[in-house]
Chains A and B, each alone.
Chain A
């Protein structure tokens, strides 16, 4: 059996009309996507959009209900074990073994992948170094911080030297410092040529890590492109955020805009706590708004983000 089953030009993951149903509930509704070797590909969407179900199908642990899916050119239904042998998986929950030490968690995973104990130990030692956990090798897993556990799970997913790494919300629940450490390690893996496929509901994570992504909402893909392309296509360069003082009657002044923002922007989005004005020049729009007599409590001009793309596409924010 040749090691490389996919020619370089063929996608590592190929999905057409991919669907997953649980009883009468449709978790993934006929999505199409391809992931090329060496790419960092993301699924961006809110909780319940179908990201995890998609990842579990790619990981061959959840049977495809209908549609087409190949991973490394292989059919998950036929060759699950062969596909998994070449995959690294970082699941949403850490699923570490609390009865084993940090090092043993890696060792036994190496054994699951049929490595010899010696080889497993060699790789485990190297990986603990890579995720900066060498000092904790002999410790139990439970006292580790959330960030450390996450890094250990990433180390565990690399024990079989996978060519494709699946990461389901790799930094959810981590503090900013821990997130940056995880991102840095994932970036290094990407530089080594590991294909990354990840889900996230953080737009900054998608922007940091993904070459290309799809936006998922309610079991479907609603947009696809690089972070920059999506922003260019769906939103303006800048966003002016206006916050208004809350009145006694629980309305705020934004309810009385009376069209005073008219013609100021390509698009205006009224959120419960603020008004978003999409425009090429935020400073100019702010000045005009002021001239027209608006007196917001705070004014912020920022670059637009994937969050805005998502809002534009679905009318809802990503993290609610």
Chain B
């Protein structure tokens, strides 16, 4: 699957140097209001971490029934790290991209310069990666301060979170380029992102889901991101499992990229 994804997406073909200019644009916007990006990205997962990890954790830990006997805070901390990257990526790929394509049409302005449609796509994906990295590093600091990671391998949860972010950003950008309003986004978040947030092994092992639901969890990218980050954070790494998780994330990201290349061209080059 990864091989097909690679061939179809030809990542080399879109990494034009010009796409860096698009990233520069996004960083220019970021420079004006960096605090809002950080606060809006971090406040919610941080509240979850405190309320559930510490509050609810008291009760969960009493039963000691989590796999490997991990404290509940340690269990959900890496999951929330990945989740906040996913949330930020999903948001950035929906409304702001819609604005650039449809509302403000700033993509159309940029297309009058040497930039091409695929430069815009690649540049804004890099921006998502940047934002996910920034949020993940900050969240990692919180985890370390709270002593919620058992292993120093937890630092590798950051690249896992960024990869997860791209696995959401690319397909959602592909979807956004087919939309003419933000009605579809409400459905996407209500029936897609929020259920994923709750049922991808974030707060409890997916083995606790009804049997028929478990295969569904395996094919969602968040499950793989959470499982990979958690294994690193609690220091129980299974190399084969980790490779599968990373491969699954990369496959979804590349498939999304392939789809986005098509929908961006179709939308912007008419």
Contact = CB atoms under 8 A, between A and B. Distances in A.
B270 A22 contact: yes
Contacts of B270: 22, 62
Interface stretch (B108-116, B145-153, B183-191): B108-116
Contacts of B25: 97, 108, 111
A84 B28 contact: no
Interface string A1-40: 0000000000000000000001000000000000000000
B106 A113 contact: no
B29 A112 contact: no
Interface string B93-125: 000000000001110111111111000000000
A91 interface: yes
B32 A112 contact: no
Contact of B113 (A97, A107, A109): A109
Interface string B63-83: 000000000000000000000
A97 B108 contact: no
A114 interface: yes
Contacts of B116: 80-81
A100 B116 CA distance: 21
Contact of A108 (B28, B32, B112, B114): B28
Interface in B42-81: none
Question: Which of B18, B24, B114 has the largest number of chain A CB atoms within 10 A?
Answer: B114
Contacts of B7: none
Contacts of A81: 114, 116
Nearest to A89: B112
A85 interface: yes
A97 B113 CA distance: 15
B13 to A, nearest CB: 15
B10 interface: no
B106 A97 contact: yes
Contact of B104 (A22, A85, A91, A98): A98
Interface string B173-215: 0000000000000000000000000000000000000000000
B180 to A, nearest CB: 15
A62 B32 contact: no
A87 B114 CA distance: 10
B131 to A, nearest CB: 15
A112 B29 CA distance: 15
Given A91-B109, A95-B109, A84 B104 contact: no
B262 to A, nearest CB: 15
Given A59-B112, A63-B269, A95 B28 contact: no
Contacts of B21: 108, 111-112, 114
B28 A104 contact: yes
A100 B28 contact: yes
A135 B109 CA distance: 24
B24 to A, nearest CB: 6
A271 interface: no
Contacts of A107: 28
Contacts of A93: 105, 108
Indicate the member of A91, A93, A107, A108 with the most B CB atoms within 10 Å. A108
A89 B111 CA distance: 10
B102 to A, nearest CB: 11
B269 A95 contact: no
A107 B238 CA distance: 49
Given A62-B270, A100-B28, A112 B115 contact: yes
A99 interface: yes
A144 interface: no
Contacts of A257: none
7 contacts: A61-B112, A62-B270, A63-B269, A91-B108, A99-B32, A112-B18, A156-B109
Interface of B: 18, 21, 24-25, 28-29, 32, 104-106, 108-116, 269-270
